[in-house]
Amino acid sequence: MHSFILEPSEVKSALSDPSVRVVDCRFDLGNHSMGAHVYKEAHIPGAVYAHLEEVLSSPVLEHGGRHPLPSVDDFVSYLEAQGITNDTKVIAYDDQGGAMASRFFWLMKYVGHQEAYMLNGGFQAWKEAGYDVTKDVTSYSKASYTPTVQDHLKVDMEELKNKLLTEDVLVIDSREERRYKGLEEPIDAKAGHIPGARNKFWKGILKSEQRWASSEELQAHFSDIDRTKEIIVYCGSGVTACPNIVALLEAGFTNVKLYPGSWSDWITYEGNLIDTDLS
């Protein structure tokens, strides 16, 4: 059983509850308009859309990485516009194994939301179950949302740099092994990884291209990770680190944090060390 991952049948049953809000997070890093386009073509009935770069991120600056976190005010304004209150049960989905939906889930936890979940298998699983989809876009009355920001769930570059000197912290790099090792870097200006980081490619948490491994399988996947340590997770830009965070939570880890700027932020500071494994 999962704690935060719902099956399509559970989401279908939840749709009859007006206090439930489903959020479509589909996005294509190679085509930034694709997610909004496919949402308009077909989505789960009643779902609203959250664009990765317009809702789940803020504009890129000199530092902060390729997908800086949105300001709390901006994110809360989005939630309120979708009729989401502190008591709303929110269910996110995408079509990329939870990569984008996990970012939304993490942001909900960051603003202190209790009832946040994700659809196992994403939009593909919903369609394979034979459930209805629609082109109709539902609008909701504006709501009021009061955030309770959980700053302990993230670290910035300076915090991470200081924590690297301590033995009670473990850093996880969520990117593909070749990027972690510095053998290739198709996106960012420098190749390699943060010194001391362990590599756990985020797709290792999936049983298939879309569906999540069970909580027991995730416990086995992370069995080499010391549960007594503070776990800090990063990726290229703070997006695909989030599925690893969700997976760690599902596996029973409790002290798990995100480095939002991730690798694309780390390399913008000239003095930061970089490790590679070019063997």
**Active site positions, annotated:** 235
Going 38 to 11 to 21 to 153, the CA torsion angle's sign is: negative
DSSP secondary structure letter of residue 206: B
The number of residues making up the chain comes to: 279
Tell me how far the alpha carbon of residue 10 is from its chain's centroid: 21
Q: Which residue, chain included where needed, has tokens 């719902």?
A: 6
CB 107 within 8 A of CB 84: no
Going 106 to 107 to 112 to 118, the CA torsion angle's sign is: negative
CB 207 within 8 A of CB 213: yes
Q: In this structure, what token pair is assigned to residue 17?
A: 């509850």
C-alpha span between 26 and 162 (Å, rounded):
35
**Cβ-based burial of 27 (10 A; exposed 0-12, middle 13-18, buried ≥19):** buried
